[in-house]
């Protein structure tokens, strides 16, 4: 008698069946486009280290946001670049600050677009750190919480649909939640950068957002990429303090972390495909034989397959237009 050889075999797939059996799909509806808005600019300015990305003027940012929406992107995340910085980062919560004006302009031009605001101090402090610096020269966690809360409230007041704290101070989600609730913004959700690793992949962002640190590094408050368990601890704490969405950053080198967080938490998970990842895919696609569209697609599918529901990516609008 012939033995039946058991072997794994792929489905006999035609294109309709492929769509039916597909476990992971990505659509423009899952993407968030980051936008940099720079105070004092007259027109958009290309970011030399990130080809295809711009610093937008206040005047142009609303048009660009609308064009993202028209391309099929449901959300943007905004980073402000102020003209003046100081040691306290106080322009971050100025009522007429660049980001507050940008939020207002974008919501006026395109009310359907979900506007997420990055809440951090590093673009606003003269020293470039994400928090206040004490006399000993290190970040003062608790003193920073109050400022971050003021920043988040000022964004909500300007019309932000969601705030996204990226500073990594301990206790910030609870502090920001309490401040939003007290000031009448209890319906404003928080997307927490719960898990943010200290990574060399952010180098070009710091160029784009002009937030290079003047001394020390961010390893005191960002996480060590050798460790995964700490990520679960951070996520659990943020969830307890009232986070609505947990974000993991960077994305592609951290698929295991995305997977762990999405299994450990019942909250939606977001992933940030950071500037260095954008550079990698761009660099690869310059070579003959590589399809940029497919590279982007594969990276998005990998991130979603790992367990993220949404992806922050500099490719968002570009990809939405390719598909």
Q: Which residues of this chain interact with Zn ion, rule CB under 5 A?
A: 120, 122, 130
Partner whose footprint covers residue 173, from ligand PBG, Zn ion, none (CB < 5 to 8 Å by kind): none
Contact 135, 161 (CB under 8 A): no
Partner whose footprint covers residue 258, from ligand PBG, Zn ion, none (CB < 5 to 8 Å by kind): none
CB-based contacts of 65: which residues, under 8 Å, 6+ apart?
Answer: 35, 76, 106, 109, 110, 113, 115
Is residue 33 a contact residue for ligand PBG (CB under 6 A)? no
SS3 227: coil
Is residue 299 a contact residue for ligand PBG (CB under 6 A)? no
User: Which of 267, 199, 276, 249 shows the shortest CA–CA distance to 258?
Assistant: 249
Q: Minimum distance from CB of 291 to ligand PBG (Å)?
A: 23
Is residue 206 a contact residue for ligand PBG (CB under 6 A)? yes
In the complex with Zn ion, the residue whose CB is nearer, 68 or 151, is 151
Is residue 54 a contact residue for ligand PBG (CB under 6 A)? no
Residues 159-198 that bind ligand PBG (CB under 6 A): 166
In the complex with Zn ion, the residue whose CB is nearer, 105 or 148, is 148
User: Which of 76, 87, 189, 202 shows the shortest CA–CA distance to 135?
Assistant: 87
How many CB atoms are closer than 10 A to CB 192? Answer: 31
Instruction: Look at the chain and count its residues.
Output: 323
Partner whose footprint covers residue 205, from Zn ion, ligand PBG, none (CB < 5 to 8 Å by kind): ligand PBG
Q: Minimum distance from CB of 267 to ligand PBG (Å)?
A: 20
Is residue 118 a contact residue for ligand PBG (CB under 6 A)? yes
Is residue 315 a contact residue for ligand PBG (CB under 6 A)? no
- Looking at residue 42, the DSSP 8-state letter turns out to be S
Buried b / exposed e along 6-21 (16+ C-beta atoms within 10 A): eeeeeeeeeeeeeeee
User: Which of 180, 166, 246, 175 shows the shortest CA–CA distance to 211?
Assistant: 166
Binding segment for ligand PBG among 1-9, 201-209, 233-241, 258-266 (CB under 6 A)? 201-209
User: What's the rounded Cα separation, in Å, for the pair 320 and 70?
Assistant: 10
Is residue 130 a contact residue for ligand PBG (CB under 6 A)? yes
SS3 140: coil
In the complex with ligand PBG, the residue whose CB is nearer, 48 or 184, is 48
User: What's the rounded Cα separation, in Å, for the pair 36 and 16?
Assistant: 40
Residues 222-261 that bind ligand PBG (CB under 6 A): none
Partner whose footprint covers residue 179, from Zn ion, ligand PBG, none (CB < 5 to 8 Å by kind): none
Is residue 292 among the annotated active site residues?
no
Partner whose footprint covers residue 191, from Zn ion, ligand PBG, none (CB < 5 to 8 Å by kind): none
Is residue 212 among the annotated active site residues?
no
In the list 54, 69, 185, 202, the residue contacting ligand PBG (rule: CB under 6 A) is 202
Q: Which residues pair with 74 in a beta bridge?
A: none
CB-based contacts of 226: which residues, under 8 Å, 6+ apart?
Answer: none
Q: Which residues are catalytic?
A: 196, 249
């Amino acid at each position: 008698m012939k033995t039946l050889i058991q072997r794994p075999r792929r489905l006999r797939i035609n294109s309709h069946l492929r769509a039916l059996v597909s476990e992971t799909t990505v659509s423009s509806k899952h993407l968030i486009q980051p936008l940099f808005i720079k105070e004092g600019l007259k027109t958009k300015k290309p970011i030399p280290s990130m080809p295809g990305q711009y610093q937008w003027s206040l005047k142009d940012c609303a048009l660009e946001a609308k064009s993202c929406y028209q391309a099929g992107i449901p959300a943007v995340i905004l980073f402000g670049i102020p003209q003046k910085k100081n040691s306290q980062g106080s322009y971050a919560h100025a009522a007429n600050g660049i980001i507050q004006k940008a939020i207002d302009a974008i919501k006026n031009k395109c009310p359907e677009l979900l506007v997420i605001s990055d809440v951090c101090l590093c673009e606003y402090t003269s020293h470039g750190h994400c928090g206040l610096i004490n006399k000993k020269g290190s970040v003062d966690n608790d003193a920073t919480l109050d400022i971050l809360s003021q920043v988040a409230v000022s964004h909500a007041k300007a019309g932000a649909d969601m705030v996204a704290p990226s500073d990594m101070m301990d206790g910030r989600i609870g502090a920001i939640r309490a401040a939003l609730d007290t000031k009448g913004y209890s319906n404003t959700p928080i997307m927490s950068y719960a898990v943010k690793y200290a990574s060399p992949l952010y180098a070009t962002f710091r160029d784009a957002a002009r937030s290079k640190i003047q001394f020390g590094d961010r390893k005191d408050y960002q996480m060590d990429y050798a460790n995964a368990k700490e990520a679960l601890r951070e996520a659990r704490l943020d969830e307890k303090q009232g986070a609505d969405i947990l974000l993991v950053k960077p994305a592609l080198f951290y698929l295991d972390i995305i997977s762990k967080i999405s299994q450990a938490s019942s909250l939606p998970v977001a992933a940030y495909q950071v500037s260095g990842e954008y550079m990698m895919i761009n660099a690869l696609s310059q070579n003959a034989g590589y399809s940029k569209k497919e590279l982007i697609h594969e990276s998005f599918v990998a991130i979603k397959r790992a367990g993220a529901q949404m992806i922050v990516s500099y490719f968002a609008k570009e990809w939405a237009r390719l598909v």
